[in-house]
Amino acid sequence: MKKLSILLMAFVAFVGLNSCSTNDDVVFIAQPDTEGISFTNSFNESYILTPATSGNIAERFVWNTVDFDVPTNITYQLQASTSADFSSFDIIGATGENNLGVKVSQLKSLADDAGFDNDANTEAPNTGLVYFRVRAFAGTDGGNGLSEMSEVKSITLILPEGESGVIELPKIFVVGNFLAASGYGADWTPANGVPLAASADGKTDYEGFVYINVDSPEFKFLPSNEGWDGDYGDTGENNGDYSGTIEQEDEVNAGTPDGKAGYFLVKVNTGELKYSLTKTSWGLIGNATPTGWDSDTDMIYDAESKTWSITLDLTKQEAPDNGIKFRANDDWALNIGDTDADGTMEFGGDNMGISEDGNYTIVLDLSNPRIYTYSITKN
């Protein structure tokens, strides 16, 4: 059993001497000695990042388990930075496990932020370092003082010759009279367009989720969010029509199938000149939930964060046969799971497991087209 420091004993003595003269509540958090945290996986000499492999796991970061010697859950936060001093950094993800998978697309985004291009490094074009570390803390918000930070690990990223650093999937953008009311920005402004992403370079099958919070919506599809050149509209006769087909000449503003608001899965194929909107409302289902596999527990959408969330009690269940899953409209026709257990999801993917009984907050983020993510946080 660990010994408390002299400072703690002095504090206890001080409280004892003053207990008769004050009723003030005193909160004290003892910082226990820990063995520290460090990465335990082996790393490649370099990571070549190509658009064709954007959806693949580039590296699974693994670290040792930290014991704060207090009865609380531990959260691990993987941080990444383009500077060794972490003067600014991105949070790649947070988990209660001791590992987290990072996709090629996430590393390519960091390479883009770092400005890896043909002119940045004359000796090794399109090559540079990105830095990672893990922060472990007690609880879920990191504000109670119990935390440990790992050493910094640098890895070498390489963009193939000719890559400009613009590494996202091809996109088109939805712009219309719904943007302001739905939390995206000023109406009919290309820069505020909601992105839809193609499945790969050279493909014309775009998809994404769009929140449309106005009745009688009208919108168009733009090849760029910098202007109106090449815009697509509906082939109907009146603004707000929904025919399921698009054109670039003599078009009208497109609309929703029922002419009403909703949260839609939008699909556009600019090669076939077709589009569709499927209204969705998302829920959580599974034998880890109070209603099991019999019915969904509805989630709530927040326009500011652009996420769906719910807080509820869950029971311990092991994936992939058990656990939880997201599905739309109380039906299995549209469901999302996590086959690789890496925090990103696929339509029809596997269930997500729950490590122990407890009260959890579940967040579903469908705002990044074709990179759909979630978090499971124990309260």
Does some domain include residue 8?
A: no
Residue 252 lies in a domain: yes
> What is the domain extent for residue 369?
283-378
* Domain endpoint, select from 262, 280, 298: 280
Question: Looking at the 3D structure of the chain, how many domains does it have?
Answer: 3
The answer to whether residues 220 and 253 touch, using CB atoms and an 8 Å cutoff, is yes
Residues for the chain: how many in total? 379
Mean pLDDT calculated for residue range 139-147: 69
DSSP 126-188: TEEEEEEEEEEEETTTS-SS-EEE---EEEEEEPPTT--S--SPPEEEEEETTTTTTTS-STT
Does 261 share its domain with 310?
no
DSSP 190: G
**247, 287: one domain:** no
> For residues 277 and 265, what is the distance between their CA atoms, to the nearest angstrom?
6
Instruction: Select from 125, 158, 191 the last residue of a domain.
Output: 158
pLDDT tier at 24, thresholds 50, 70, 90: very low
Copy the structure tokens of residue 46: 């370099």
Same domain for 311 and 274? no
Do 272 and 300 reside in the same domain of the chain?
A: no
320: preceding bond cis by omega (within 30 degrees):
yes
Q: β-pairing, 194-198 with 205-212? A: antiparallel
Helix (H) or strand (E) holding 311: strand 307-314
Q: What is the chain's mean pLDDT, rounded?
A: 84
Tell me, what's the pLDDT at 52?
Answer: 60
Q: What is the mean pLDDT of residues 89-100?
A: 87
Contact between 152 and 132 (Cβ < 8 Å): yes
In a domain, 231, yes or no: yes
Helices (H), 166-247: none
CATH of the domain at 176: 2.60.40.3620
In the chain, the amino acid numbered 109 is S
Q: What is the pTM of this model?
A: 0.61
Least confident segment among 120-129, 213-222, 244-253, 324-333: 120-129
> Which of 158, 183, 214 delimits the end of a domain?
158
Are 194 and 214 contained in the same domain? yes
Q: How high is the pLDDT of residue 55? A: 67
The answer to whether residues 253 and 369 belong to one domain is no
The answer to whether residue 335 is domain-embedded is yes
CATH of the domain at 330: 2.60.40
Judgement on whether residues 222 and 298 belong to the same structural domain of the protein = no
**How many Å apart are CA 322 and CA 28, to the nearest integer?**
40
Asked if the model's pLDDT at residue 28 lies above 80, the reply is no
